[in-house]
């Protein structure tokens, strides 16, 4: 017993000394946003609620003698969930400017979705759970945790071009009665160029995934699709637009549905001193049905969202936000979930 204690003490002392001498560089970042939302659905009761968005991230990095940087990060808190995101992988940044993400690497198509301005507030009108109409450009960009994503250096093959590719695989476990994603492959690219006083960004991507299910019907289409977007920045003015088309399998509570859908987004942002003005619109449509089902006369889910916000930089890292969102929706071609919502709050970032 005495020998075991001595060995344990020596091991702890050795690890402690090693951690002091070879500690990686750690930085912390995050934000705390809180405010009030005033929701006014057309078919329900007006409600008021406090909305919080809290994030706390620790980033770790170190550079080898050969110049390669090894980094990772994890979230101690994500919104109101204290557990946060603790399953992040590693990023290897090479001396030529390229990078390789390993484990939980994500989807290369999603990495190149163009950012389209919309309300900076945290307001929104609740939608029925059976409405599958998408309003984002990356709704079909799934992946599994067992994957890698490679990002090229800047000016890959041409000035202003960056390229990413990603792939992931499954755990090797057998399929279950709920449809799941087993693997994926994706590619994405962003091209940036100047047209006079305007900086033009074009981004796009393609993704496809394979899945499995036991004792059930396979979907007509596995998850996958394409998206493309364009953003133009002239001084303090940003104008952006994007379009996405694809399919998603394994939705709803029991993973027994699929849908094909498309989404369009457009938005404008203008910065004037400490004030930032955002206006955005998003529209989506989806044909959802049971896995493997064929719809000869399909009915559609739809969403049309209009949003706007005014943000004011009160102090360094502190921003006051006033946001507004209006939604018009339909479920199986029947109008539902219309309404509007206001938000007033502040965000503190570090």
In a domain, 13, yes or no: no
Per-residue pLDDT for 279 more than 70? yes
pLDDT number for residue 81: 55
pLDDT > 70 in the chain, percent: 90
Question: Residues 6 or more apart from 177 whose CB is under 8 A from it?
Answer: 213, 214, 215, 216
- This model's pTM is above 0.75: yes
In a domain, 224, yes or no: yes
Read off the tokens for 47. 């409600």
Q: Across-strand partners of 167?
A: 148, 185
- DSSP string for residues in 242-278: EEEEEEEEEESTTS-EEEEEEEEEEEEEEEETTEEEE
pLDDT number for residue 15: 38
Q: Please name which of 220, 121, 140, 221 lies closest in space to residue 188, comparing C-alpha atoms.
A: 140
In a domain, 255, yes or no: yes
In a domain, 259, yes or no: yes
pLDDT grade for 31, boundaries at 50, 70 and 90:
very high
Cα 118 to Cα 324: distance, rounded to the nearest angstrom: 10
Q: Please name which of 111, 185, 95, 101 lies closest in space to residue 143, comparing C-alpha atoms.
A: 185
In a domain, 118, yes or no: yes
pLDDT number for residue 336: 79
Per-residue pLDDT for 316 more than 80? yes
Kindly give the pairing relationship between strand 69-78 and strand 90-93.
antiparallel
pLDDT tens digits for range 79-116 = 655 555 556 789 999 999 999 999 989 999 999 999 99
In a domain, 153, yes or no: no
pLDDT number for residue 8: 42
- The count of structural domains within the chain is 1
pLDDT number for residue 82: 52
pLDDT number for residue 189: 98
Question: Residues 6 or more apart from 113 whose CB is under 8 A from it?
Answer: 136, 137, 138, 141, 188, 203, 205, 227, 229, 242
What value does the mean pLDDT of the chain take?
A: 88
Q: Which of 13-27, 194-208, 333-347 has the lowest mean pLDDT?
A: 13-27
Per-residue pLDDT for 271 more than 90? yes
Q: Report the CATH number that the domain containing residue 311 is assigned in CATH.
A: 2.40.160
pLDDT tens digits for range 219-266 = 888 999 999 999 999 999 999 999 999 999 988 867 779 999 999 999
Return the ∠ at Cα 178 (arms to 75 and 257), rounded to 5°.
100
In a domain, 290, yes or no: yes
Cα 241 to Cα 111: distance, rounded to the nearest angstrom: 16
Per-residue pLDDT for 173 more than 90? no
Mean pLDDT on 151-165: 95
Per-residue pLDDT for 10 more than 60? no
Kindly give the pairing relationship between strand 237-251 and strand 224-234.
antiparallel
DSSP summary character for residue 79: T
More confident residue, 21 or 209: 209
Tokens 């404008």 correspond to what residue? Answer: 268
**Whole domain around residue 133: which residue ranges?**
114-140+190-207+217-349
- CB-facing half-sphere around the CA of 308: CA atoms within 13 A: 4
Question: Residues 6 or more apart from 74 whose CB is under 8 A from it?
Answer: 57, 58, 84, 85, 86, 87, 88
pLDDT > 90 in the chain, percent: 65
In a domain, 176, yes or no: no
Residue pair 180/255 in contact (Cβ under 8 Å)? The answer is yes
């Amino acid at each position: 017993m005495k020998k075991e204690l001595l060995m344990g003490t020596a091991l702890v002392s050795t690890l402690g000394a090693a951690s002091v001498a070879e500690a990686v560089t750690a930085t912390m970042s995050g934000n705390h946003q809180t405010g009030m939302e005033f929701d006014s659905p057309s078919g329900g009761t007006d409600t008021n609620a406090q909305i919080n968005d809290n994030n706390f991230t620790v980033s770790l990095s170190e550079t080898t003698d050969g110049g390669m940087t090894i980094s990772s990060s994890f979230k101690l808190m994500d919104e109101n969930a204290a557990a946060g995101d603790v399953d992040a992988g590693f990023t290897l940044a090479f001396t030529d400017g390229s990078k390789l993400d390993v484990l939980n690497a994500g989807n290369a198509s999603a990495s190149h979705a163009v950012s389209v301005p919309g309300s900076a507030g945290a307001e929104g009108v609740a939608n029925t759970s059976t409405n599958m109409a998408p309003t984002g450009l990356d709704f079909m960009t799934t992946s599994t945790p067992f994957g890698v994503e490679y990002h090229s250096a800047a000016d890959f093959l041409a000035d202003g071009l960056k390229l990413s590719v990603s792939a992931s695989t499954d755990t090797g476990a057998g399929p279950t009665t709920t449809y799941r994603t087993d693997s994926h492959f994706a590619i994405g690219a962003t091209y940036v160029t100047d047209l006079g006083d305007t900086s033009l960004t074009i981004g796009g991507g393609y993704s496809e995934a394979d899945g499995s299910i036991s004792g059930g019907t396979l979907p007509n289409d596995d998850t996958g699709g394409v998206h493309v977007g364009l953003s133009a920045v002239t001084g303090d003015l940003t104008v952006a637009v994007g379009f996405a088309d694809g399919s998603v399998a394994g939705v709803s509570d029991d993973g027994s549905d699929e849908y094909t859908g498309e989404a369009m987004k457009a938005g404008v942002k203008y910065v004037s001193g400490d004030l930032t003005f955002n206006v955005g619109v998003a529209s989506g449509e989806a044909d959802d049905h049971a896995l493997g089902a064929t719809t000869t006369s399909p009915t559609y889910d739809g969403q049309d969202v209009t949003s706007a916000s005014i943000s004011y930089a009160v102090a360094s890292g502190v921003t006051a936000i006033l946001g507004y969102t209006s939604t018009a929706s339909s479920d199986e071609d029947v109008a539902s979930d219309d309404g509007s919502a206001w938000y007033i709050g502040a965000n503190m970032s570090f």
